[in-house]
A = this chain, B = another copy of it.
């Protein structure tokens, strides 16, 4: 491939906040084209978990998501705190949002929130033998309901467009492939 990275000439911050940091970059391509402004979103890294219970059901949480203005079924998820490892972050979020713990945690390969726009990393995990071990511990303003749902039902919620969070859809499929539950047919 002959593709090359852009040269970053200057960054200007439009907003720096706990939740969203927006940067405008002035860049130069290898062929000398100026790209200005190119907007980049900075954020703490994201974590989420495809948490299976002993019956191979998947733990879904339901909460109001104000971006889409919808109650959205999702995986337990959150942001990595300063100085925290992604694995510690997802164990903490799982416990806070649902009161659940997983007997085993497996890391899936990290990906980008959106490589065109976001500078952060998403760390997806699989949880094995997940069960409720204590009460939820929600932040003020956070309202979360949760339930374990069978794999065929989760796939139905994706196929019908009821699960709308692509970061989580992607990891649900990857977790099922990793566990040998979803397999590729011989390609024609």
A residues near B (Cβ < 8 Å) are 1-6, 8, 14-15, 17, 19-20, 22, 25, 27, 29-31, 33-35, 37-41, 56, 62-72, 74, 109-119, 122, 140-141, 143, 145, 150-152, 155, 158-161, 163-167, 169-171, 173-174, 176-177, 180-185, 187-188
Pair A159/B181 contact, Cβ less than 8 Å: no
Chain B neighbourhood of A170, CB < 8 A? 166, 169-170, 173
Q: Tell me the bound Cα distance from A5 to B72 in angstroms.
A: 11
User: How many copies of the polypeptide does the oligomer hold?
Assistant: 2
Residue in B3, B40, B66, B174 whose CB lies within 8 Å of A38: B66
30 A–B pairs (Cβ distance < 8 Å), ordered by A: A3-B62, A3-B143, A6-B64, A8-B66, A17-B39, A20-B22, A20-B117, A27-B66, A31-B143, A38-B66, A40-B66, A41-B67, A56-B188, A66-B116, A67-B116, A67-B117, A68-B115, A112-B165, A113-B166, A114-B114, A114-B165, A114-B166, A116-B165, A155-B177, A158-B174, A169-B174, A170-B170, A173-B173, A181-B184, A182-B183
Contacts of A71 in B (CB 8 A): 1, 3, 5
Please tell me if the beta carbons of B67 and A40 are within 8 angstroms of each other in the complex.
yes
Residue from B56, B66, B118 within 8 A of A67 (CB atoms): B118
Minimum C-beta distance from A187 to chain B (A): 5
Q: Distance (Å) between the CB of A143 and the closest chain B CB?
A: 6
Nearest residue, chain B, Cβ from A28: B141
B111 A164 Cβ-Cβ under 8 A: yes
